[in-house]
Every structure is written in structure tokens, then in C-alpha cells.
Amino acid sequence: MQIDNVAAVVTGAASGLGNATATALAAKGARVFGLDRDIATAPQIDGVTYIEADVTSEADVRAAIAHATEQGPLRVVVNCAGIGTPARILGKAGIHDLALYAKIVQVNLIGTFTVLAIAAEAIATTDPLDHAQRGVVINTASVAAFEGQIGQAAYSSAKSGVVGLTLPAARDLAQHGIRVNTIAPGIVETPMLASLSEGVRTSLAAGVPFPQRLAQPSEYADLVAFIIDHDYLNGETIRMDGALRLAPR
């Protein structure tokens, strides 16, 4: 499916993976609508319109999707919004904060589903292209979905939920010509990692078999573009991790 001259929605677009994706899609000719809770410091990019929205709010998501659809046809949605505050199930202060656990699942999993479902409703109304395809939704999981580390109980279970959602969502939406795929990144050099010391970042890179470095957000964006273009990729979770398998800690 071609990216040029279609509307695309990217969540978590103000920074990191979402910003790299929004930039790449706009460069390929898409009219990109970047959703984020805080867009005040988002870099200005030609072809990208930022919309302040919380992916856990049905009203926010519906309004953003409606706006993108008006500029449509809406054919591409990329879910990058996510949070990952670490906490042990049983720590020195007691059990894992239950509200924190619920929030992480709410943003990473339920937020992803909310955007997926509302966007699919809009994409299903577009005119079909070759082979009756109408659009593609790409979600973001993590290698932690498969090898969650100590302190990642909430994050890992939420991202595992995204992986588990992928195939049934692809099957559900097949009749509407909508593909659904997921990317599970390894350690990516995002603003979150930038706060770590150089020594810690070097140590993280050393744990990647090959290439022995941190991934770049632009590489995630490149994979998004490839999935959009490759019409036969559907219902798949693709690891982008340099063959990394996470140790317990």
C-alpha cells in the first residue's frame, strides 16, 4: 500500500519512536496527525499536525480520528504511545502499587486497543484498493513481552497483551481489508535512555549480539514503512532487537 497522499495517525508522536515515525511518513507524502498528551515541545515537522490527545480517553481518540478522517483517506495508524515505570511485585515498601499497574496496562494495552478499534471503524469506510485492502494498523510491543525483566511485571504483561492482540485483531479486521501487525523493539536510543549515563548505555549496547549498539528510532520508522508497503504482512509480531534476549535484570 502506498503512503503518499493518505492520512496517517501516529500516537506518542511528540518524541521517540512516534516522532521518528511521524517524520518518516510525512517525508513519504502522508498527511500525518501526531497524537500526544503533551505537544508543547514537539518539534515542528512539515506534513505533521499535532493533536493533544490521551489514548486512554475514548472522546480524545474519537475526536482525533474524526479530524484525520476529514483530511483522509485514513489508511495508516501507528500506535507508539506507552509508559514503563519499573516496580517489583514485592519490594521494600510493600506490594506493587496497584494503581500504577492499572495505569501502565491502561496506556500500553487498553490505549492501543482503543486507537485500533476507533481507527478501524473509520478505515473500514474508505474505498477499497487492490485486493480489497483499505489500511493497516501497526502496534508497538517490546522484547519485554517475551523476556520481561525484574521490575517489569506491569510493562511486560501489558506489552504481552499487545502481542496477543495482534493475530485476533488481524483476523477480526480482515473482512474490512485492514491489516494489523506489531513491532517488538529491543533497546532503542530514545529520550528515556538519553537520561542514563554513558557507561550504562554502553553496557546495554554490549548486551546486543549484533549489531552491538542501541537501535535508532529511525530504524523503527523504516520498519513501519516496510510493513505498510508489504501487503502480505498481516497478523505478525516482528522483533527488532539485534538478536537480543533480555536477562533477568
Domains identified in the chain and CATH numbers: 7-188+216-237 (3.40.50.720)
Q: What is the model's pLDDT at position 197?
A: 75
Q: What is the model's pLDDT at position 195?
A: 66
Q: What is the model's pLDDT at position 52?
A: 98
Compute the distance between CA of residue 55 and CA of residue 31 in angstroms, rounded to an integer.
20
Compute the distance between CA of residue 164 and CA of residue 160 in angstroms, rounded to an integer.
6
Q: What is the mean pLDDT of each run of 10 residues along the chain (249 residues)?
A: 94 97 98 97 96 98 97 96 94 95 98 98 97 97 95 97 98 98 95 75 90 96 98 98 92
Compute the distance between CA of residue 13 and CA of residue 82 in angstroms, rounded to an integer.
11
Q: What is the model's pLDDT at position 204?
A: 86
Q: What is the model's pLDDT at position 208?
A: 95
Three-state DSSP class for residue 129:
coil
Indicate the Cα dihedral angle 95, 100, 106, 108, nearest 10°. -90
Active site residue 220: no
Compute the distance between CA of residue 104 and CA of residue 202 in angstroms, rounded to an integer.
28
Compute the distance between CA of residue 28 and CA of residue 114 in angstroms, rounded to an integer.
27
Q: Which of 50, 101, 155, 220 is catalytic?
A: 155
Return the sign of the alpha-carbon dihedral for residues 172, 173, 176, 179: negative
Q: For residue 112, how far is the Cα from the chain centroid?
A: 8
Q: What is the model's pLDDT at position 191?
A: 79
